Structure 1
């Protein structure tokens, strides 16, 4: 994935919301123009009063009307930017979800869950702020500053030159502040990712932590992450607190100096700084109007800098290597008609890291209808073989074939119908009992789900629930053995050709194990079965393949 992923999302939002984009442009232009006019009207009113002339009522009304119009334009711009930012957020999160579904399995092993979550939450929020209070707002403020400079050059050339001299200094000061704030914000995002990851990992391993009495250690680690967040936020708050007062002090200093020079009475100085009372009132308004946008620009640059960190992390995520391409032309019926063995490993060598080897020149074949048990020491590669069969990884060398087809080329729409995979623990998803079995797969009908539940002996239990198969699932709904039966029902609901069993009786007592084994025997009929469990081998018979 190229780094253009974010740009593509923004372009699509612009294309799909042309009227909204036009509205933002018009409100920005309207806000800039309307903000320039009230001081000019006020200048006219003051000069008329000083000269003893009457002020026309429509002139007064126009002054307040322009102020109201400026507020309307500003409010409209902010409202439209919020809507635009939400559309950017929706498009970006959709893009990230699409990317997430295309990532290989090892990405989720190497990346902390909290880090991935922070991409969808914190980083996307900063990109939204890039548009709602960043680039567009900064552009509007920059246009306002340039326009004010043009007016001041006409009204008071000396003041215009003074501001032109000060602007580079303000810019340099702003740059120093933003660079330091960016570094602090990046450090904060890293720390937030660690905190986000620490809590669920702690809850997941809470029993082990209690058993080893590591509560204090886990608390200290969490405190360190929180302290890192606090330190980074404190730095950001410090620079934020320093920036605004300095800008306001410079604003007051310039006003004071200009007023003193204007009232000095020196002919040379008066040429550059002399002005009428009405012009002085207008100039004071414009000076405030210059420094307010400059202050806003500084804060907007801070927002942009913060968003840049989020953009970089999102681009980094979007540029992650995707899963290898599958062959969408593979047909399941054609695949099953092949005379080749159901599973073939030909001189397979594989390791998760470049310098490690789990499987070395491994070869074996499994015919259709065979029941095979993989045996061997921990780390011999039994679960790794399952991952290779499921196409989650590519081998370093050799071939992993399913009826003669490369396992990694098998498309997702075929995998659910080809594989049934039962793990040690049932992984519950949000939804009803029926949805636990179907996994929201529309190709699996209610009848198919009920048939699977009947095969494992769970249909009557489910039917006795208050809402039957439509009962919302909770962790207390079934016993441990019943959850494992439900796991088998989920695996066989799509009527798969190959059943993979990964130590499914490891955590069961003897009586529950017998119930599960009987259900498994029924579920394995007319299917090719590969299991990782010596007890399953003893119960079901079949052939054993030993891994050294």
Structure 2
């Protein structure tokens, strides 16, 4: 048998390996690292996209040059060669095809980013501690997966990549304009600071409006499911008008923010069009004047036609850049929220890659204790203490009932025991192992949890029991149903165990039996019962208790009761007192 020092050293080494693996996962949790991984896996798509964008920009430069030669031939009363007309039409067709291809590639790349990002966020979701879900409303979390990821898609499809392509197009056109007319090139350079200052103003105003809209959308997404979930209480207390008014307020807040954003967008486009018209007018007036100014702006008729085409091509992408800036600013709010989500602290857990370290924890064979709360202190918000210096043990095979007033912390004890939360002080051991470090894939074989009410999932009756666990076969599902006395009721359904859950019409007592079957199907060693007969009539309660008598055989049982008299002679009772309430 190992001595005490060897056991302690093994436990310390295992803890260090667990924390090392945890820190590696945490360092990778950022939006930048996720995007880098996506881009590394999409090198060929990025290369092809850049190639098509380059071809689009190049082919867009040639049609005005060909048009210049055609117009000059007409003004010189020369016959236009057929190949020149065909070249002009061909370049326009090729330019249109490449631009369509550019849009397709940008869209496909954005879709890949969106899919990969949502996958990473889903993987992150299961690594978050329970405290995150209690501190953040479901609608807020849903908004990050739906709205915020959608704006990240816009960041690529209608933002960064499109703006890069438009910027390259503007630069290449400016080079040609300088070559054709130095004066016009200087004019465009002079108005660039004006356009830049105006763009920055619109950026700031748009970002502020988008941030307000993001917050309002999150409130709306949370308000709707909250109202539906509590609709019975709302109707009972006649609070429908209040909930409607709150919903209207959130919608109005979102609409006002979107109106501001749309206002800036609607103003920006006319300003750009007006400036482009003024530049063309100045160029034509200066070119028609005599002396040195005419030489500075002097151009042929064909060149004038080409330059007018180029000027419109300059301001067209500039106008698009203004819209793309709005998309980028809108995405910035979503990017910040997603990055905050990915950087949320993760719960201490072990996965398959470090499960071997868990095995190094040595079970204390000197005691028969199965569960040990050793000077445990806990608070959800660091202000209101829920548990303080809690000490108790549960022997293997023992049945223990936790009793106490509402809010005393009985359900919190279950959450701590299953590793959903970590204690602020002390430690919780299950067979000598820290409860928070038990691998997730082992927890169902260790704990069976029966709640006050049954939570149905989308699937068949069999899947309500197995919860889609591939290690649980049909024989185990039926054995669990027989154990709780529900097999005959299930077989009376249209498709038996394969009946879709939404088509069953079980009573509350039958649903509670289904919950017990779900808890025991994996043959757990410890059964946790959370006030499961509180809302049942006496006959149904007796049926549930009979099923529990069969389900608890050979297991360690820890149950919760609000009433002091609800325990049998074979059960030990532990009274839980909330130190912050003094009860």
TM-score normalised by length of structure 2: 0.91
Conserved? CA contact 1:3–1:315, under 8 Å: no
Query: CA 1:336–1:537 in structure 2 vs 1: closer, same or farther (change >3 Å)?
Result: farther
- Displacement of 1:283: 0.6
Larger mean CA deviation between 226-235 and 346-355 belongs to 346-355
| 1:328 pairs with one of 355, 371, 385 | 355
The equivalent residue for 1:277 is 301
Query: CA 1:165–1:437 in structure 2 vs 1: closer, same or farther (change >3 Å)?
Result: same
Conserved? CA contact 1:332–1:414, under 8 Å: no
The equivalent residue for 2:442 is 414
Confirm whether residue 245 of structure 1 aligns to residue 233 of structure 2. no
Instruction: Write the deviation string for residues 259-308 of structure 1: whole angstroms up to 9, x where unpaired.
Output: 111112x2121121111000000010011001001111111111111111
Query: CA 1:444–1:83 in structure 2 vs 1: closer, same or farther (change >3 Å)?
Result: same
SS of 2:380 mapped into structure 1: coil
Conserved? CA contact 2:403–2:410, under 8 Å: yes
Conserved? CA contact 2:173–2:310, under 8 Å: yes
Q: Quick one: distance in 2 between partners of 1:191 and 1:17?
A: 35
The equivalent residue for 1:66 is 91
SS of 2:421 mapped into structure 1: coil
Query: CA 1:142–1:15 in structure 2 vs 1: closer, same or farther (change >3 Å)?
Result: same
| 2:206 pairs with one of 174, 181, 197 | 181
Q: Quick one: distance in 2 between partners of 1:460 and 1:333?
A: 44
Confirm whether residue 433 of structure 1 aligns to residue 458 of structure 2. no
The equivalent residue for 1:315 is 339
Q: Quick one: distance in 2 between partners of 1:472 and 1:535?
A: 40
Q: Quick one: distance in 1 between partners of 2:568 and 2:490?
A: 27
Conserved? CA contact 1:156–1:274, under 8 Å: yes
- Displacement of 1:477: 2.4
| 2:550 pairs with one of 518, 522, 531 | 522
Instruction: Write the deviation string for residues 105-145 of structure 1: whole angstroms up to 9, x where unpaired.
Output: 00000011111111111111111111111111111111111
Q: Quick one: distance in 1 between partners of 2:78 and 2:50?
A: 40
Conserved? CA contact 1:28–1:140, under 8 Å: yes
The equivalent residue for 1:423 is 451
Larger mean CA deviation between 206-215 and 459-468 belongs to 206-215
The equivalent residue for 1:377 is 405
- Displacement of 1:334: 8.0
Q: Quick one: distance in 2 between partners of 1:88 and 1:111?
A: 25
SS of 1:430 mapped into structure 2: coil
Conserved? CA contact 1:145–1:294, under 8 Å: yes
SS of 2:426 mapped into structure 1: strand
- Displacement of 1:340: 3.8
- Displacement of 1:16: 2.5
- Displacement of 1:41: 0.4
Q: Quick one: distance in 1 between partners of 2:499 and 2:209?
A: 49
Conserved? CA contact 2:456–2:464, under 8 Å: yes
Q: Which runs of 5 or more residues in structure 1 are unaligned?
A: none
Conserved? CA contact 1:138–1:297, under 8 Å: yes
- Displacement of 1:475: 7.0
The equivalent residue for 2:17 is none
| 1:141 pairs with one of 159, 163, 166 | 166
Q: Quick one: distance in 1 between partners of 2:469 and 2:362?
A: 23
- Displacement of 1:527: 0.6
Q: Quick one: distance in 1 between partners of 2:502 and 2:53?
A: 52
Conserved? CA contact 1:9–1:88, under 8 Å: no
Q: Quick one: distance in 2 between partners of 1:535 and 1:473?
A: 36
The equivalent residue for 1:386 is 414
Confirm whether residue 358 of structure 1 aligns to residue 396 of structure 2. no
TM-score normalised by length of structure 1: 0.97
Larger mean CA deviation between 442-451 and 485-494 belongs to 442-451
- Displacement of 1:3: 7.6
| 2:429 pairs with one of 382, 401, 405 | 401
SS of 1:134 mapped into structure 2: helix
Conserved? CA contact 1:463–1:469, under 8 Å: yes
Conserved? CA contact 1:340–1:404, under 8 Å: no
| 1:477 pairs with one of 505, 515, 525 | 505
SS of 1:478 mapped into structure 2: coil
Q: Which runs of 5 or more residues in structure 2 are unaligned?
A: 1-25, 578-583
The equivalent residue for 2:20 is none
Conserved? CA contact 1:351–1:357, under 8 Å: yes
Confirm whether residue 455 of structure 1 aligns to residue 480 of structure 2. no
Instruction: Write the deviation string for residues 138-195 of structure 1: whole angstroms up to 9, x where unpaired.
Output: 1111111111111111111110000001111011111111210111111101100000
- Displacement of 1:405: 1.2
Q: Quick one: distance in 1 between partners of 2:567 and 2:382?
A: 37
Confirm whether residue 291 of structure 1 aligns to residue 311 of structure 2. no
- Displacement of 1:503: 0.8
Conserved? CA contact 1:521–1:540, under 8 Å: no
| 1:487 pairs with one of 508, 515, 518 | 515
Larger mean CA deviation between 351-360 and 433-442 belongs to 351-360
Q: Quick one: distance in 2 between partners of 1:414 and 1:538?
A: 30
The equivalent residue for 1:122 is 147
Q: Quick one: distance in 2 between partners of 1:2 and 1:168?
A: 41
Q: Quick one: distance in 2 between partners of 1:340 and 1:267?
A: 107
Q: What's the RMSD between the two structures over aligned residues?
A: 1.7
Confirm whether residue 41 of structure 1 aligns to residue 66 of structure 2. yes
The equivalent residue for 1:511 is 539
Q: Quick one: distance in 1 between partners of 2:565 and 2:548?
A: 9
Q: Quick one: distance in 1 between partners of 2:150 and 2:127?
A: 23
- Displacement of 1:17: 2.8
Instruction: Write the deviation string for residues 446-479 of structure 1: whole angstroms up to 9, x where unpaired.
Output: 1111111000000011111111111110175211
Query: CA 1:3–1:407 in structure 2 vs 1: closer, same or farther (change >3 Å)?
Result: closer
The equivalent residue for 2:261 is 236
| 1:545 pairs with one of 567, 574, 579 | 574
Paired residue total? 547
- Displacement of 1:6: 2.2
The equivalent residue for 1:8 is 33
